[in-house]
Structure 1
Amino acid sequence: MRVVRRRRTASARLAEVRESFWLVPAIFSVGAVLAAVGLSALELQLDLPFGGIVPSGPAGARSLLSSIITAMISFTALVFSITVVALQLASSQYSPRVLRTFLQDRIIQATLGTFVATFLFAMVVLAALPDQEGQRLPELSLAVSIALVLASSATFIYYLHHITTVMRVSHIIGSIGAQTRRSIARLPPPDEPPAVVPGEVTQTVPASEPGMVSNVDLVVLGRLAREHDCAITVVPTPGDFVVAGAPLLRVHQTVGGAARPVPADRAWLGVTVGVERSPGQDLGFGFRQLADIAERALSPGVNDVTTAVRAVQEAHDLLRRLATRPDPTYAVRDDDGTVRARMSSISYDAVLAMIVDDIRLVSGDQPRVRRLLDSIVRDVASMALPVHRAAIGRRLPTAVNDSH
């Protein structure tokens, strides 16, 4: 089958830019260059009254700026080295999936951006220095360069404190939990009527390429469904892997409508398929990270039961929050209530399988972990909605013991 290169919506591209590592350093760098050019030109042309701030000639100013540039290159290389080491340690000790937490850390991005901005600012000011003695120096720009060096030094000290803090396993687990709680808070209200698409399937849109479903734009799909008088359901849930040619979308007949074929290239715009999972709509991503940390901590090579217990405790809070909600379903409706686009999220049963079944399987003879898992199952069973009780009941300690 020929693989079609899919286009992405503007919202998907913007989300990718917002989550990228380079955005903050790029903003700092562009701002530094513009500020240096503007300040140097303004100071030299308008003869601003800032004389005597940096009392030195062109040679001294050139030596100062050269030292700043050299120092900032060394600082930047050091920050890169520390960050790379931190990423390697987090990947090997906890889970490769926690790397996104470090790459999206604004403190790390701002530190790198501050060093690069100081380097670029000093380099532009150096280029603006006069060649001959006696000519006016851009002294305000030189003073700003020195201030940026002081700010970079303070930022570097804070960066060392920050990187040692975020490398702690409790901080990593807490960050994953906070991120997942934000995803839970964005779920549809529990009392929202279920999104049902009763019409028969008239068309199946296959996936054009393999990858992880990272984002679904139901607004785009809903608009497309209205244009073609149909309803569209998304087959995989965010976080699922789809293979090329597998069903991606299904087009349904609506009551009283005459569904027309939906162009595949336009339908693909509503689903973003990437190489990795991402938080947001992928509610199971946080649970997967917590399960990975617990399973790796319980492996014979690590044998860190305390870390496993901490990851399971964080998952306990998330399981309680989901136990009082039905399985999430997102929908776009017309004013009369007709469902035009529908997408399901991960089920409570699948979440329990990640946290309870997988961790219980590798816990072996660790009584602390097994007792904690049993108490979590009993706790969520006492408060869960009736729709979840069957999945929870299969994991109650008595049911597990009977199965063995």
Structure 2
Amino acid sequence: MSRPRTMSKRLSDIRESFWLVPAVFAVGAVTSAIGLSALELQFDLPFGGVVPSGPAGARSLLSSIITAMISFTALVFSITVVALQLASSQYSPRVLRTFLQDRTIQATLGTFVATFLFAMVVLAALPAQRDEGLPELSLAVSIALVLASSGTFIYYLHHITTVMRVSHIIGSIGAQTRRSIAQLPPPDQPSATVLGEVIQTVPATAPGMVSNIDLALLARLAREHDCAITVVPIPGDFVVTGAPLLRVHRTAGGTGRPVPADRAEQGVTIGVERTPGQDLGFGFRQLADISERALSPAVNDVTTAVRAIQEAHDLLRRLAARPDPVHVVRDDDGTVRARFTGISYDTILAMVIDDIRLVAGDQPRVMHLLDSIVRDLASVALPVHRATIGRRLPARGPGSH
């Protein structure tokens, strides 16, 4: 059963979708071709001689453009898909999302499709009689689009070979995770107060990964029913059907009426895969996957593992100076209306430090790097994280000082 989604989530899905930019290019090409051809044929614009060719030559030119662009688009993106599959098998299948959201790849596909559609519409607008006027400016634009497609293809080859490099992939994951860290609640935000008794538990009606939580929607619902709502799973967790999804609490001095389960569910988006944003652990999971795969006997690429660990080090250092995130919406009087907690620092350390240590036991270079990272984190971490980091400090030998 598909879960209802809020309008903000629908708009976010559209913005992040692969088809949006090509669709905009396609609609623009069709609209421009119809409008330009109609203007030329209706008002006999003075552009004669731009393309010295009769209807037969124009028809042959446009047919060649259409046929070539269809074949060209299919060939280019078939090869690209194969290359991306190879990259995902070598690094991590989760990095494919990075390529699908790449605007250059989307714009390249959009340019190819726009050239094809523009030429097709102009071909349909060609007059049947030889003595009738030709939309010569539209023909010139079709040729210009072919030239633009050729230039775009050359740049696309440069771009795709760049973004498929492992350093670029790791850097993109790091940049994405830094944006997620920047969106965390301020470190000096007052901690959430203890909520009252639980008066209702809303179960999950479908399994999947928690990808987004709309606290504003949950807070509005809580105000309507004079209660407080907490989200049980954290972003990135997998929930099973029937597991607790939301808990409704009584507030101090409030009546605490139960909320409609169908409306409350709309505040939590459950999908088939993890997504960046509120799911802070997704970036660390990708970096850990790349490291572990690089350290496997089948790949044995220690340099790639080290680069991924170094990127994770920067992210861990940023989080060490922050308490574990608690996202809260309060009323003006301080009453908590909606709340969910983010991933804990201990869980992230287990994902990056502990998991990689298990597969890097025979790689001194990696083990030394992990030990130095833990020591560095211990020197900058908040007191609340020191016990967690201390459990991972390397044991000091008898001769160490």
| TM-score where L is the length of structure 1 | 0.97
Correspondences of 1:72-151 after superposition (within 5 Å): 72-151=69-148
Query: CA-to-partner distance for each residue in 1:200-241, whole Å, 9 max, x for gaps?
Result: 111110001000000000010000000000000000000000
Q: Which residue of 1 aligns with 2:211?
A: 214
Q: What SS is found at the alignment partner of 2:221?
A: helix
Q: Which residue of 2 aligns with 1:54?
A: 51
Q: What SS is found at the alignment partner of 2:282?
A: helix
Q: Following the alignment from structure 2 to structure 1, what is the Cα–Cα distance between the partners of residues 121 and 216?
A: 46
User: Number of paired residues?
Assistant: 398
Q: Following the alignment from structure 2 to structure 1, what is the Cα–Cα distance between the partners of residues 196 and 381?
A: 31
Q: Please point out which of 149, 163, 168 is paired with 1:166.
A: 163
For structure 2, list consecutive stretches of 5 or more residues without a partner in the other structure: none
Q: Which residue of 2 aligns with 1:30?
A: 27
Alpha-carbon shift at residue 82 of structure 1 (Å): 2.3
Query: CA-to-partner distance for each residue in 1:251-280, whole Å, 9 max, x for gaps?
Result: 011010011111110001000000000000
Q: Following the alignment from structure 2 to structure 1, what is the Cα–Cα distance between the partners of residues 392 and 46?
A: 77
Q: Are 1:14 and 2:11 matched, yes or no?
A: yes
**Which amino acid letter does the alignment assign opposite residue 379 of structure 1?**
D
Q: What SS is found at the alignment partner of 1:225?
A: helix
Alpha-carbon shift at residue 198 of structure 1 (Å): 2.1
Alpha-carbon shift at residue 83 of structure 1 (Å): 2.1
Query: CA-to-partner distance for each residue in 1:267-298, whole Å, 9 max, x for gaps?
Result: 01000000000000000000000000000000
Alpha-carbon shift at residue 5 of structure 1 (Å): 4.2
Q: Flag as ranges the 4+ runs of structure 1 deviating above 6 A.
A: none
**Contact 2:3-2:270 within 8 A present in 1 as well:** no
Q: Following the alignment from structure 1 to structure 2, what is the Cα–Cα distance between the partners of residues 232 and 198?
A: 9
**Contact 2:227-2:256 within 8 A present in 1 as well:** yes
Q: Please point out which of 168, 173, 192 is paired with 1:176.
A: 173
Q: Are 1:327 and 2:330 matched, yes or no?
A: no
Query: CA-to-partner distance for each residue in 1:288-316, whole Å, 9 max, x for gaps?
Result: 00000000000000000000000000000
**Which amino acid letter does the alignment assign opposite residue 328 of structure 1?**
P
**Contact 1:197-1:339 within 8 A present in 2 as well:** no
Alpha-carbon shift at residue 79 of structure 1 (Å): 2.2
Q: Following the alignment from structure 1 to structure 2, what is the Cα–Cα distance between the partners of residues 9 and 198?
A: 26
Change (3 A) 1:268 1:352: same
Q: Which residue of 1 aligns with 2:306?
A: 309
Alpha-carbon shift at residue 399 of structure 1 (Å): 7.8
Change (3 A) 1:43 1:399: farther
| TM-score where L is the length of structure 2 | 0.98
Q: Are 1:384 and 2:381 matched, yes or no?
A: yes
**Which amino acid letter does the alignment assign opposite residue 385 of structure 1?**
L
**Contact 1:65-1:122 within 8 A present in 2 as well:** yes
Q: Following the alignment from structure 2 to structure 1, what is the Cα–Cα distance between the partners of residues 111 and 323?
A: 46
**Which amino acid letter does the alignment assign opposite residue 23 of structure 2?**
A
Q: What SS is found at the alignment partner of 1:203?
A: strand
Q: Please point out which of 238, 247, 254 is paired with 2:235.
A: 238
Alpha-carbon shift at residue 43 of structure 1 (Å): 1.2
Q: Which residue of 2 aligns with 1:189?
A: 186
Alpha-carbon shift at residue 47 of structure 1 (Å): 1.5
Query: CA-to-partner distance for each residue in 1:330-384, whole Å, 9 max, x for gaps?
Result: 1111111111000111010000001100000100210010000000000010000
Q: What do you get for the CA RMSD once the two structures are aligned? A: 1.2
Identity %: 83
**Contact 1:98-1:289 within 8 A present in 2 as well:** yes
**Which amino acid letter does the alignment assign opposite residue 353 of structure 2?**
V
Query: CA-to-partner distance for each residue in 1:112-143, whole Å, 9 max, x for gaps?
Result: 11000100000000000001112110011001
Q: Which residue of 2 aligns with 1:223?
A: 220
Q: Which residue of 2 aligns with 1:256?
A: 253
Q: What SS is found at the alignment partner of 1:68?
A: helix
Alpha-carbon shift at residue 6 of structure 1 (Å): 2.5
Q: Which residue of 2 aligns with 1:373?
A: 370
Query: CA-to-partner distance for each residue in 1:48-100, whole Å, 9 max, x for gaps?
Result: 11111111100110011011101101111122212211221122100011010
**Which amino acid letter does the alignment assign opposite residue 61 of structure 1?**
A
Q: Following the alignment from structure 1 to structure 2, what is the Cα–Cα distance between the partners of residues 133 and 190?
A: 75
**Which amino acid letter does the alignment assign opposite residue 55 of structure 2?**
P
Query: CA-to-partner distance for each residue in 1:6-51, whole Å, 9 max, x for gaps?
Result: 3111111111111111111111111100110011001111121111
**Contact 1:197-1:252 within 8 A present in 2 as well:** no
**Contact 1:284-1:351 within 8 A present in 2 as well:** yes
Correspondences of 1:282-361 after superposition (within 5 Å): 282-361=279-358
Q: What SS is found at the alignment partner of 2:290?
A: helix
Q: Following the alignment from structure 1 to structure 2, what is the Cα–Cα distance between the partners of residues 131 and 6?
A: 53
Q: Following the alignment from structure 1 to structure 2, what is the Cα–Cα distance between the partners of residues 265 and 197?
A: 26
Correspondences of 1:272-287 after superposition (within 5 Å): 272-287=269-284
For structure 1, list consecutive stretches of 5 or more residues without a partner in the other structure: none
